Amino acid sequence: MKFYVLLILCLIQGLTEFLPVSSSGHLLLLENLFGIEDNLLLLNLFLHLSTLLAVIIYYRKIIFGLLKKPFQPLTYKLVLSTAITLVFAVIYEIFDLGKYLDAFYCYYFLVTALLLFVTFLYQKKSISLKVGEISYKDSIIVGAVQGIAVLPGISRSGSTISSLLLLGNDESESAKYSFLLSIPIIVGGFLFEILKIDSWETVFNQINPWYIVFAFFFTFIVAFLSLKLTVKLLKGHKFIYFSIYLFLLGLSVIFFL
């Protein structure tokens, strides 16, 4: 792998993991543009770890609180949402739905764009939102929405945050829940990559180890800044920018690729 391709991969992974634009959709687009083969398992593992570290550090106080007192409503809700998402993910893998659905990722960009636009309109109405932890009903719904986001082009962060806002939750709580919910999802993706490994020797021979070290730290920095930016833009009602971006991106892929 050429270094500039690695740099682009790290930028895309770090930026899009938390911005509401779909990391999987962008990585698939990148794969199609550069002809990148999906066999860099070791790189994928470290990219997962770097984004995981970013969200853990950003929400470290809340996470430490959950570790000290794990038996509390927020923990139960996160587990409930994750369990529902897992059902979608298992169905997706067992029936190999990616073979049939992933090719339409350009249209899924448009779906995310529409969802972000509707959320923007809702926020602009200045409706009084609930403050406090989300309900169990909302956690069930957001778990299902996150399950649908297994499709490349459907943003996990964008769809979960938007659904929570449309359900009447305030911005701060929606962002917090969405990004805390990303932790078990990223861990699950990490474990799934490990299960795909047949030979560790082959994995370690796939890429220069110094590339791996660079990828980890560079992606972590980009992902952490991306997370901070997403929270800031959410509070400023600026998700409309991502809606416009995804709309233009989706149309460009449909008509030019």
Residues in CB range of 101: below 8 A, 6 or more apart = 151
3 state DSSP class of 130: strand
3 state DSSP class of 169: strand
3 state DSSP class of 70: coil
What percent of the chain has pLDDT above 70?
91
Burial of 35 (0-12, 13-18, 19+ CB in 10 A): exposed
Is residue 130 over pLDDT 90?
Answer: no
pLDDT tens, residue by residue, 10-33 = 999 999 999 999 999 998 998 888
Confidence at 40, pLDDT banded by 50, 70, 90: low
- 48 DSSP assignment: H
Task: Please provide the DSSP assignment of 177-228 as one string.
Answer: HHHHHHHHHHHHHHHHHHHT-S-HHHHHTSS-HHHHHHHHHHHHHHHHHHHH
Nearest to 184 by CA among 28, 80, 72: 80
Q: What is the pLDDT of residue 30?
A: 87
pTM for this prediction:
0.92
pLDDT tens, residue by residue, 105-127 = 999 999 999 999 999 888 755 45
Calculate the average pLDDT of the chain: 89
Q: What is the pLDDT of residue 126?
A: 46
Helix (H) or strand (E) holding 1: none
pLDDT tens, residue by residue, 69-103 = 999 999 999 999 999 999 999 999 999 999 999 99
Nearest to 120 by CA among 23, 18, 241: 241
Classify 168 in phi/psi space as left (phi over 0), alpha (psi -120 to 50) or beta.
Answer: left
Q: Is the dihedral of CA 121, 124, 129, 134 positive or negative?
A: positive
What percent of the chain has pLDDT above 90?
67
Beta bridge partners of 244: none
**Backbone dihedral angles phi then psi of residue 18, each to the nearest 5 degrees:** -115, -25
- Distance between CA 21 and CA 152 in Å, rounded? 10
pLDDT tens, residue by residue, 218-254 = 999 999 999 999 999 988 888 899 999 999 999 999 9
In one-letter notation, the amino acid at residue 215 is A
Q: Is the dihedral of CA 87, 91, 93, 98 positive or negative?
A: negative
Q: What is the pLDDT of residue 195?
A: 80
pLDDT tens, residue by residue, 179-205 = 999 999 999 888 887 887 776 666 667
Helix axes 209-235, 3-16, angle to 10 degrees: 30
Beta bridge partners of 169: 130
Contact 196, 41 (CB under 8 A): yes
Q: 3-state secondary structure string, 6-37?
A: HHHHHHHHHHHCCCCCCHHHHHHHHHHHHCCC
Q: What is the pLDDT of residue 117?
A: 95
